[in-house]
Amino acid sequence: LLYCPYCMKNYPERELRWRCECGGYLIYKPDRIGFPDEGELVYRQPDIWRYREALPIDEGSVPVSMGEGMTALVPVPWDGRKVFFKLDYLCPTGSYKDRGISYLVSKLKELGVGSLIEDSSGNAGAAMAAYCARASIDCEIFVPSYTSGGKCVQIEMYGAKLRKIPGTREDTTRAAELASEKTYYASHNWSPYFVHGIKTLAFEIWEQLGGKAPDNIILPLGQGSLIMGAKLGFQELLDAGKIECLPRIYAVQSANCDPLAKAFKRKSDQPVRITKKETIAEGISSSEPVKGDMVLSDVRNSDGYILEVGEESIWSSFIKMCSLGFYVEPTSAVVGPALDELFDNGSISEGETTVALLTGSGLKATDKILHYKEAFASS
């Protein structure tokens, strides 16, 4: 079923809606959920649908999939300390969003959706455009006009209609919500399904670490889908008796857009209202996270915390990642200064297993990377 955590209203599992009548977001609790046996997993394809028991779709329906997931988990020396990078920028459209969108579009196809709109800072829009192309669903994507050219071209080449909206990321959302009166609003940030695709990253890390959860996981934080996905995935592993405890979740915001880092510090259970500034980390520049209350409680319950990192440290981390051979989009580089802080203040120690997620490919952000390269060279 679908339920609203604010007014507690329930909706049937097959009802097509993107939010509650009261305006709250909806949570999807599948009627049945399971986890495959380890013996069975060995024989399955290396993509998110190897965990199909945990990704409920109608029996006999074919998932909309392009082999997303089962991305490499690579041990990396970070200032001589061993950490693992999970290379989610290697998903088919170049970002981790493919996990969530593969499941979301599979569900929408099943529910008979023939056309939809989505708004995005770029990566989710590209993923939505690609998976809609595969599913023959008409798709219109709203992006802020400042979005990297690489992402815009990608969205259009998949055949989606692209709408560039002047102003902030939030102005883009409002434009899409307005337009959604005519067609289905498939917003990944509002969707109750998206997070179930994202949770597969926890399953993979567990498999890749030989059937163990890491001690710590470091994730970039904008709307918080990675945090909610990791929490849900590790919780399902715990419920299935596959792990003994949940990892600590450390979430990272840009100091120029930090409504959740501020809320965490002030012990608030709702995002703080902020005036955001431009940031290199455009992928996490969300000042009004839809499910901010859930993200805050997920991080708190994990015993982790929310960090904020400055522009110069994000750029140096980006350069350092390039020097290690990882060409990511600058947003992904926020995990670098977070690792430094967490090791330095003793929150994580060297004997522990620590995984940081690299979310998007640098190949999509060429224009932005060139711009910042010149800006930092001259400053």
Of 4 and 342, which CB lies nearer to Zn ion in the complex structure?
A: 4
Q: How far is the CB of 11 from Zn ion (least distance, A)?
A: 10
Return the range that interacts with Zn ion (CB under 5 A); candidates 2-10, 37-45, 322-330, 335-343: 2-10
Whether the Cβ atoms of residue 281 and residue 220 lie closer than 8 Å to each other: yes
The length of the chain is 379
Using CB under 5 A as the binding rule, the residues of this chain from 4 to 63 that contact Zn ion are: 4, 6-7, 9, 20, 22, 24
Q: How far is the CB of 287 from Zn ion (least distance, A)?
A: 23
CA distances from 334 to 14, 51, 235 (A): 38, 29, 25
Of 7 and 153, which CB lies nearer to Zn ion in the complex structure?
A: 7
Of 6 and 164, which CB lies nearer to Zn ion in the complex structure?
A: 6
Of 154 and 187, which CB lies nearer to Zn ion in the complex structure?
A: 187
The edge-to-edge listing of strands for the beta sheet with 354-358 is 73-78, 81-87, 354-358, 216-220, 248-254, 306-309
DSSP-derived pairing of the beta strands 73-78 and 81-87? antiparallel
Whether the Cβ atoms of residue 129 and residue 92 lie closer than 8 Å to each other: no
For residue 356, what are its two tokens? 């940081």
Of 27 and 238, which CB lies nearer to Zn ion in the complex structure?
A: 27
Q: How far is the CB of 227 from Zn ion (least distance, A)?
A: 22
Whether the Cβ atoms of residue 295 and residue 228 lie closer than 8 Å to each other: yes
Of 22 and 62, which CB lies nearer to Zn ion in the complex structure?
A: 22
Whether the Cβ atoms of residue 252 and residue 338 lie closer than 8 Å to each other: yes
Asked whether position 2 contacts Zn ion by CB under 5 A, the answer is no
Asked whether position 227 contacts Zn ion by CB under 5 A, the answer is no
Q: How far is the CB of 260 from Zn ion (least distance, A)?
A: 22
Helical residues (DSSP H) of the chain, grouped into ranges: 38-41, 97-110, 123-135, 149-157, 169-179, 194-198, 200-208, 225-239, 259-265, 292-301, 311-323, 335-344, 366-378
Q: How far is the CB of 22 from Zn ion (least distance, A)?
A: 3
Q: How far is the CB of 23 from Zn ion (least distance, A)?
A: 7
Binding-site size, Zn ion (CB under 5 A): 7
Tell me how crowded residue 372 is: count the other CB atoms within 10 A of its CB: 17
Asked whether position 245 contacts Zn ion by CB under 5 A, the answer is no
Distance, CA of 252 to CA of 241 (rounded, Å): 29
Q: How far is the CB of 190 from Zn ion (least distance, A)?
A: 13
Of 172 and 180, which CB lies nearer to Zn ion in the complex structure?
A: 180
- Binding residues for Zn ion, rule: CB under 5 A, are 4, 6-7, 9, 20, 22, 24
